[in-house]
Amino acid sequence: MIDFTLSAFVTLLLVVDPVGLAPAFLAATAGMPDKIKRTVALRAPLIAASILVVIAVVGNGLLRQLGIGIPAFQIAGGLLLFGVSYQMIFGDRPHREAREADKATSEHASDVAVFPLAIPMMAGPGAIATTLLLAGDAGYGARLVIIIAVVLSVCLLCMLCFVSASLIARTLGRTGNAVLSRVLGMLLAAYSVQFVINGIAAVRASLS
Protein backbone atom coordinates (compact mmCIF):
# COMPACT_ATOMS: atom_id res chain seq x y z
CA MET A 1 0.00 0.00 0.00
CA ILE A 2 2.88 2.38 0.77
CA ASP A 3 4.53 1.61 -2.58
CA PHE A 4 1.21 2.20 -4.36
CA THR A 5 0.73 5.53 -2.59
CA LEU A 6 4.24 6.76 -3.35
CA SER A 7 4.04 5.65 -6.98
CA ALA A 8 0.68 7.38 -7.49
CA PHE A 9 1.86 10.57 -5.79
CA VAL A 10 5.13 10.80 -7.73
CA THR A 11 3.42 10.07 -11.06
CA LEU A 12 0.74 12.74 -10.67
CA LEU A 13 3.25 15.17 -9.20
CA LEU A 14 5.49 14.83 -12.27
CA VAL A 15 2.58 15.34 -14.64
CA VAL A 16 1.10 18.40 -12.93
CA ASP A 17 4.53 19.87 -12.02
CA PRO A 18 3.44 22.47 -9.40
CA VAL A 19 6.81 24.26 -9.33
CA GLY A 20 6.92 24.45 -13.11
CA LEU A 21 3.49 26.10 -13.15
CA ALA A 22 4.65 28.98 -10.94
CA PRO A 23 5.91 31.09 -13.89
CA ALA A 24 2.64 30.47 -15.74
CA PHE A 25 0.74 31.65 -12.66
CA LEU A 26 2.82 34.81 -12.56
CA ALA A 27 2.13 35.46 -16.25
CA ALA A 28 -1.61 34.79 -15.89
CA THR A 29 -1.98 37.14 -12.92
CA ALA A 30 0.40 39.88 -14.10
CA GLY A 31 -0.93 43.30 -13.21
CA MET A 32 -3.53 42.00 -10.77
CA PRO A 33 -3.64 43.31 -7.18
CA ASP A 34 -2.08 41.01 -4.57
CA LYS A 35 -5.50 40.27 -3.07
CA ILE A 36 -6.83 39.06 -6.42
CA LYS A 37 -3.69 36.99 -7.00
CA ARG A 38 -4.22 35.22 -3.68
CA THR A 39 -7.84 34.53 -4.58
CA VAL A 40 -6.79 33.01 -7.93
CA ALA A 41 -4.03 31.01 -6.21
CA LEU A 42 -6.61 29.44 -3.90
CA ARG A 43 -9.41 28.99 -6.40
CA ALA A 44 -7.56 27.40 -9.34
CA PRO A 45 -6.27 24.33 -7.41
CA LEU A 46 -9.72 23.79 -5.89
CA ILE A 47 -11.30 23.73 -9.35
CA ALA A 48 -8.63 21.36 -10.68
CA ALA A 49 -8.96 19.09 -7.64
CA SER A 50 -12.74 18.89 -8.11
CA ILE A 51 -12.33 17.89 -11.76
CA LEU A 52 -9.72 15.21 -11.05
CA VAL A 53 -11.61 13.75 -8.07
CA VAL A 54 -14.77 13.36 -10.17
CA ILE A 55 -12.71 11.70 -12.91
CA ALA A 56 -11.13 9.34 -10.36
CA VAL A 57 -14.54 8.29 -9.05
CA VAL A 58 -16.62 8.00 -12.24
CA GLY A 59 -14.06 8.01 -15.05
CA ASN A 60 -13.52 4.27 -15.29
CA GLY A 61 -17.27 3.60 -15.16
CA LEU A 62 -17.63 5.93 -18.11
CA LEU A 63 -14.92 4.02 -19.97
CA ARG A 64 -16.81 0.77 -19.40
CA GLN A 65 -19.98 2.34 -20.78
CA LEU A 66 -18.04 3.34 -23.89
CA GLY A 67 -16.56 -0.15 -24.20
CA ILE A 68 -12.99 1.02 -23.64
CA GLY A 69 -10.77 -1.34 -21.66
CA ILE A 70 -8.18 -0.21 -19.13
CA PRO A 71 -5.27 -1.72 -21.15
CA ALA A 72 -6.26 0.38 -24.17
CA PHE A 73 -6.39 3.48 -22.02
CA GLN A 74 -3.07 2.58 -20.42
CA ILE A 75 -1.40 2.46 -23.83
CA ALA A 76 -3.11 5.65 -25.06
CA GLY A 77 -2.45 7.42 -21.77
CA GLY A 78 1.19 6.36 -21.79
CA LEU A 79 1.66 7.75 -25.30
CA LEU A 80 -0.04 10.98 -24.27
CA LEU A 81 2.16 11.30 -21.19
CA PHE A 82 5.21 10.69 -23.35
CA GLY A 83 4.15 13.64 -25.49
CA VAL A 84 3.94 15.80 -22.37
CA SER A 85 7.40 14.64 -21.25
CA TYR A 86 8.82 15.38 -24.73
CA GLN A 87 7.57 18.95 -24.50
CA MET A 88 9.07 19.29 -21.01
CA ILE A 89 12.48 17.94 -22.08
CA PHE A 90 12.79 20.03 -25.24
CA GLY A 91 11.50 23.19 -23.65
CA ASP A 92 8.24 23.71 -25.53
CA ARG A 93 5.88 23.27 -22.60
CA PRO A 94 6.89 26.31 -20.50
CA HIS A 95 6.79 28.60 -23.54
CA ARG A 96 3.41 27.21 -24.63
CA GLU A 97 1.99 27.64 -21.11
CA ALA A 98 3.27 31.20 -20.96
CA ARG A 99 1.61 31.98 -24.33
CA GLU A 100 -1.67 30.46 -23.14
CA ALA A 101 -1.44 32.36 -19.88
CA ASP A 102 -0.82 35.68 -21.66
CA LYS A 103 -3.75 35.05 -23.98
CA ALA A 104 -6.03 34.14 -21.09
CA THR A 105 -5.03 37.26 -19.16
CA SER A 106 -6.08 39.52 -22.00
CA GLU A 107 -9.23 37.63 -23.01
CA HIS A 108 -10.41 36.12 -19.72
CA ALA A 109 -8.89 38.35 -17.05
CA SER A 110 -11.99 37.94 -14.87
CA ASP A 111 -11.52 34.19 -14.47
CA VAL A 112 -7.97 33.00 -15.13
CA ALA A 113 -8.40 30.59 -12.23
CA VAL A 114 -10.50 28.42 -14.57
CA PHE A 115 -8.53 28.98 -17.78
CA PRO A 116 -5.66 28.44 -18.20
CA LEU A 117 -4.61 27.61 -14.63
CA ALA A 118 -7.14 24.92 -13.63
CA ILE A 119 -7.74 23.82 -17.23
CA PRO A 120 -5.56 22.86 -19.06
CA MET A 121 -2.45 23.48 -16.95
CA MET A 122 -3.40 21.54 -13.81
CA ALA A 123 -6.29 19.34 -14.91
CA GLY A 124 -5.09 18.93 -18.47
CA PRO A 125 -5.03 15.85 -20.70
CA GLY A 126 -1.94 14.45 -18.99
CA ALA A 127 -3.35 14.79 -15.48
CA ILE A 128 -6.73 13.41 -16.55
CA ALA A 129 -5.12 10.42 -18.25
CA THR A 130 -2.90 9.78 -15.23
CA THR A 131 -5.82 9.99 -12.80
CA LEU A 132 -7.85 7.56 -14.90
CA LEU A 133 -4.94 5.12 -15.09
CA LEU A 134 -4.24 5.28 -11.37
CA ALA A 135 -7.93 4.94 -10.51
CA GLY A 136 -8.18 1.95 -12.86
CA ASP A 137 -5.31 0.25 -11.04
CA ALA A 138 -6.82 1.16 -7.67
CA GLY A 139 -10.34 -0.12 -8.26
CA TYR A 140 -12.73 0.76 -5.44
CA GLY A 141 -12.20 0.84 -1.69
CA ALA A 142 -9.13 1.96 0.23
CA ARG A 143 -6.94 2.44 -2.83
CA LEU A 144 -9.45 4.75 -4.48
CA VAL A 145 -9.44 6.84 -1.29
CA ILE A 146 -5.65 6.99 -1.59
CA ILE A 147 -5.92 8.25 -5.19
CA ILE A 148 -8.32 10.97 -4.08
CA ALA A 149 -5.92 11.92 -1.26
CA VAL A 150 -3.05 12.03 -3.78
CA VAL A 151 -5.03 14.33 -6.08
CA LEU A 152 -5.84 16.65 -3.18
CA SER A 153 -2.21 16.62 -2.01
CA VAL A 154 -0.83 17.54 -5.44
CA CYS A 155 -3.39 20.32 -5.84
CA LEU A 156 -2.48 21.60 -2.37
CA LEU A 157 1.16 21.75 -3.47
CA CYS A 158 0.05 23.74 -6.52
CA MET A 159 -1.75 26.14 -4.20
CA LEU A 160 1.38 26.59 -2.09
CA CYS A 161 3.51 27.13 -5.20
CA PHE A 162 1.08 29.72 -6.56
CA VAL A 163 1.02 31.59 -3.27
CA SER A 164 4.82 31.70 -3.21
CA ALA A 165 5.27 31.88 -7.01
CA SER A 166 7.25 35.11 -6.99
CA LEU A 167 9.77 33.72 -4.52
CA ILE A 168 10.12 30.42 -6.45
CA ALA A 169 10.72 32.21 -9.76
CA ARG A 170 13.40 34.43 -8.25
CA THR A 171 15.05 31.52 -6.44
CA LEU A 172 15.25 29.13 -9.41
CA GLY A 173 15.93 31.69 -12.10
CA ARG A 174 15.63 30.92 -15.80
CA THR A 175 18.37 28.28 -15.73
CA GLY A 176 16.95 26.54 -12.67
CA ASN A 177 13.46 26.38 -14.18
CA ALA A 178 14.88 24.94 -17.42
CA VAL A 179 16.92 22.27 -15.59
CA LEU A 180 14.00 21.27 -13.35
CA SER A 181 11.63 20.96 -16.31
CA ARG A 182 14.00 18.64 -18.18
CA VAL A 183 14.77 16.41 -15.19
CA LEU A 184 11.06 16.00 -14.45
CA GLY A 185 10.47 15.37 -18.16
CA MET A 186 12.95 12.48 -18.19
CA LEU A 187 11.30 10.89 -15.17
CA LEU A 188 7.85 11.33 -16.68
CA ALA A 189 9.06 9.76 -19.95
CA ALA A 190 10.13 6.65 -18.02
CA TYR A 191 6.75 6.46 -16.27
CA SER A 192 4.88 6.87 -19.55
CA VAL A 193 6.83 4.03 -21.17
CA GLN A 194 6.01 1.85 -18.16
CA PHE A 195 2.31 2.61 -18.65
CA VAL A 196 2.54 1.41 -22.27
CA ILE A 197 4.42 -1.74 -21.22
CA ASN A 198 1.77 -2.50 -18.58
CA GLY A 199 -1.01 -2.02 -21.14
CA ILE A 200 0.64 -4.34 -23.68
CA ALA A 201 1.26 -6.94 -20.97
CA ALA A 202 -2.40 -6.77 -19.94
CA VAL A 203 -3.52 -7.27 -23.55
CA ARG A 204 -1.20 -10.25 -23.99
CA ALA A 205 -2.44 -11.78 -20.73
CA SER A 206 -6.08 -11.43 -21.82
CA LEU A 207 -5.34 -13.15 -25.15
CA SER A 208 -3.40 -16.06 -23.70
Per-residue pLDDT of the chain (208 residues; tens, 9 = 90+): 888 899 999 999 988 989 878 877 877 776 778 788 888 999 999 999 999 999 999 987 887 787 877 787 778 777 877 876 787 778 655 555 555 555 544 444 447 888 778 987 898 777 888 898 888 888 788 899 999 999 999 999 999 999 998 777 678 777 876 777 687 778 778 877 887 898 899 888 888 7
Of the candidates 183, 64, 82, the one whose C-alpha atom is nearest the C-alpha of residue 129 is 82
Residue 156's pLDDT is: 97
28 touches 116 (CB < 8 A): yes
Residue 145's pLDDT is: 94
Angle at the Cα of 48 from the Cα atoms of 71 and 26, rounded to 5 degrees? 125
Residue 42's pLDDT is: 92
